[in-house]
Structure 1
Amino acid sequence: MSVPDLQTIQSLAEVPDGALPITPGSIIMTPEGVLGIAKPPRPCKLHFMADGLPFNVAVRHEGDGSVCQIWADVGHVPYTAQAPERRRALLSILRGVEGLKTVKFVVQGGQKIILFSETTFEHQAAPEDLFHQTILVLQEARPFLRLMGPYL
């Protein structure tokens, strides 16, 4: 039987967030044959720019799976007193966008337009999953973002 080194003992002493109570899956055997704490993957947040819009990506882990959310602040619907033609055209485009597979355009309070997508994975999301989901969102949203651009 090997004696664990000081670093291993310290890692066993650390209690990862959400690890209480300790379950059978909380303790792992390392390749060296030493006990260790299985730390759940940490949530991540990413930011990037595409077509002049700042996009956000957030991943949180739920059980054995992950939830990936992608969103962007598209702009505001102008008020009728400001620009009635632009408002009508923009609302017409937003009504036509309903029913897309991956993306939703949501008009929040204050007439703020948000592009939103949420995907649930049955496994822990890998970088390839995030990249794939981001490309799907951009491919589906880009034509509608270009249509909306002149009216924002």
Structure 2
Amino acid sequence: MGEVAQVQMSKVSLTVNGRVMEKYVEPRKLLSDFIREDLALTGTHVGCEHGVCGSCTVLFNGSAIRSCLMFAVQANGSEIKTVEGLVESGEMSTLQEAFIDSHGLQCGFCTPGILMSAYEMLQNDTRPSREEIKEVLSGHLCRCTGYEGIIKAIEKAFDRKK
């Protein structure tokens, strides 16, 4: 019989939500799976695994990306922020509070990815127009809300921004 091929593990070191994390992973492990399985940060959801639904969106060096389209080894040396990283000192972020106040979520499956894209928008000094918010949201599939509450939540978060 043939021999079983051994997979060589690769060391990955990255900063996740402000903490340096080092793990050994298979070279073909997706960043989304690494975040969920190896780091136990299950707020990042996995939906389509094709970069279409947006539920796996995280910030990669400050930019919103689909973590299902990147291998964990490609993120080596990078800074990642997941939805868990929005909570600071045990308090929800202004963005999260705005989503609750504006009924911007229902089942919650798409919410973490939308929050991360909205968070990236909030880092800009210029308040986006309603059309610009819709453009960002076009990369996220939500089957429950109809998006109106989500748009209002993002607008409210900008209004509350100091």
Q: Aligning the two structures, in what range does the TM-score lie when normalised by the shorter sequence?
A: under 0.3
Q: TM-score, normalised by structure 1?
A: 0.27
Relative contact order, higher structure (CA 8 A, sep 6+): 2
Higher strand share: 1
Q: TM-score, normalised by structure 2?
A: 0.26
Larger Rg belongs to: 1
